[in-house]
Amino acid sequence: MLHRTIKRFWEDRRGYVIALTLIAMPLLLGVSLIVIDVGRSANLHTDLQSAVDAMALTGARELDGRNDSITRAQAAIEKLANTAAFGNGGSGMSLGSYITVAYKAGDDTASTVTVRFLKGIPGDGTFAGDDDDPITAAMITTNPNDAGYAWVTAKNQAMQTIFPVPVGVTRSTINVSADAVAAYRVSACDVTPIFICNPYEPAGNSSATVSEQAAEQLHTKFAAGNLYGVQIELHSTSSSSPGPGNFGFLRTPLGNGASVLADALATGNPGTCYTKDNLDTETGAKAGPVEDGVNTRFGFYSSSFNKVSNDARYRPAQNVRSAQSQTGNANKKCDTYNPVTSGGAIGDVTKAVPLGYGATMTAMGGGKISTANNWNYNTYWNVAQGGSAPSVTAVLSNYSSYPSGATGLPSRPSAYDVYRYELNNPSLISHASASGEKGTPGTGGQCYSGPALSNYTADEYGDRREIFSAIVNCGYEKSVGHLNGHKATKAIAFARMFLTKPAVKESNERYISLEMIDISGKGGRGTLDEFLREEAELVR
């Protein structure tokens, strides 16, 4: 009997599922809690990542190379972090609480993120390596002129776990963090599809270090006023090795061929925005379009442009005084640039002289540059207007392109500032030189016959004697194979420039004479902002 009872009990399977469930319950509960904790940590990481992404993008947007760029970036990040309400408080990330992401520049203890600025990252051309390599201390900078990346790291946030603390482990939290790196990107829209070679890069340079030094020199000299009123004569070249004193062309998506490029030069509409770090150059000899396209800005309609003199897109500037010969009929005066000359120089003090006249020039690679702001202002004024020239103070009180950081007053106003002074005094534009040339563009015949120029204000439509181009360290970019039209060329800045006279034909080449009146980045005056599209993008 006892034996049968024991055997029946032993073989009885009723309640087996309940027993297994009771045994498995702790395991199932533990797995469920782990899943919940993993989900909570993932949500926390997502929130932190979203926060640092937004802060990095906000900070990078301010890194334009100016002297206050880091200060502005920190202020922007601080404002975003403290007003975006990433969370409503709480500590330790216990169940049901939130974390506040905050930043206060200069006060690390009050910040839940660390903000640093970088001059480069692995694999970006500044530093060797690739995207997987870590950021090193050598890449961190406090120099606002060098900073091009914002690096934001969220400090570790201790999240309290729900899963029971395992035996022998004394902590009940896990740390969650996130970081992001964003880069400053700038592109220029509605610019002339031209690049000029940095006049301060040594000819034939192939060193990245020297390239950086040349870029720094350009910005430093501009900020100090050393480029104010300086005349630069740039020649086009078909050479595969352009250098200081040369200029070249940027590719336009509107089509191929010299005629398309000429049209883009004339209108200033290349059909695209040019990214500073990713320029696409146009190869080949295209000297002709410079003269034909650029000179419509002075009211000259030659070659393929002789039928567009009634089109406002090709209108001349409102002041085109350039020592153009006045002989012949209206068609002749408005055909090609045929300046009066004396002793081989453009301009004749007994007839007419252009703006920038008389500057003492020195050789510069493929072109020339004046040794200082030394053009003959008094002679120009006497020939063009008669009488004594206005004082420097009088001209600059009307408009000044003299950098605000430069000390003192210049020895004479720049040609551009004199041009602006004339524009503000219509009687000066209509005053004739001895040759009969006036600043007012010619009309009738082949001269401009489109809508009234008064319809097109400089504030709204820009000034037709200004061109906007990229500045490139041509030597270095050539040495790394970036000027062949197949690889991205990097600009060190964009420039706003004033054409002191029309493009000139010289043998098989053309040259343009200009003043640099503003540059983007460090030391710039900020007048390029309306043409720049500044963006930030996450790179890590």
- Residue-wise pLDDT for 206-256, tens only, equals 888 898 899 989 999 999 999 999 999 988 866 667 788 888 888 887 777
The pLDDT assigned to 1 comes to 58
d(CA 267, CA 69): 33
371 and 492, same domain (yes or no): yes
Other beta carbons within 10 angstroms of residue 175's beta carbon come to: 11
Residues 165 and 308 in one domain: no
Same domain assignment for residues 146 and 247 = no
Could you give the CA distance from residue 192 to residue 189 in angstroms, rounded to a whole number? 9
Any domain includes 223: yes
Q: Which domain holds residue 398?
A: 190-200+210-538
Residues 171 and 194 in one domain: no
Which pLDDT belongs to residue 385?
A: 93
pLDDT at 12: 60
User: Same structural domain for residues 171 and 244?
Assistant: no
Alpha carbon separation from 301 to 443, 448, 494 (Å, rounded): 12, 8, 28
Q: What is the pTM of this model?
A: 0.77
Based on the fold, state whether residues 100 and 32 are members of the same structural domain.
yes
Give the CA count within 13 Å in the CB-facing half-sphere of 328: 15
Neighbour-count burial for 207-224, b at 16+ CB within 10 Å, e otherwise: eeeebbbbbeebbebbbe
> What's the domain count of the chain?
2
Q: Provide the 10 A C-beta neighbour count for residue 184.
A: 23
Tell me if 500 is assigned to some domain. yes
- Domain identity same for 175 and 240: no
> Is 513 within the bounds of a domain?
yes
User: Quick check: is 56 in a domain?
Assistant: yes
- Alpha-carbon span 500 to 515, nearest angstrom: 7
The burial class, CB within 10 Å (0-12 / 13-18 / 19+), for 230 is: buried
pLDDT tens track, the chain, 540 positions:
566 666 665 666 666 666 666 676 666 665 655 666 666 666 667 777 888 888 888 888 888 777 788 999 999 888 876 654 443 333 444 444 456 778 888 888 888 888 999 988 887 767 777 777 888 888 889 888 788 889 998 887 666 665 555 444 445 666 677 888 998 877 777 778 888 899 999 888 888 889 889 998 999 999 999 999 999 998 886 666 778 888 888 888 777 777 888 888 888 877 777 777 778 887 666 666 777 888 999 999 988 888 888 999 999 999 999 999 988 666 678 888 989 999 888 999 999 999 999 999 998 888 889 989 999 999 999 999 998 999 999 999 999 999 988 888 999 999 999 999 999 999 999 999 999 999 999 887 788 999 999 898 887 788 899 998 889 998 898 888 887 766 678 888 899 999 999 988 877 677 889 999 999 888 888 888 777 777 778 887
With respect to residue 205, please indicate whether it lies within any of the assigned structural domains: no
443 lies in some domain: yes
Residue 6 in domain: no
- Considering 187, 219, 250, which residue would you say is the last residue of a domain? 187
Quick one: 180 and 228 in the same domain?
Answer: no
Chain centroid offset of residue 281 CA: 17
- Residue 106: CB atoms within 10 A of its CB come to 8
109 and 40 in a common domain: yes
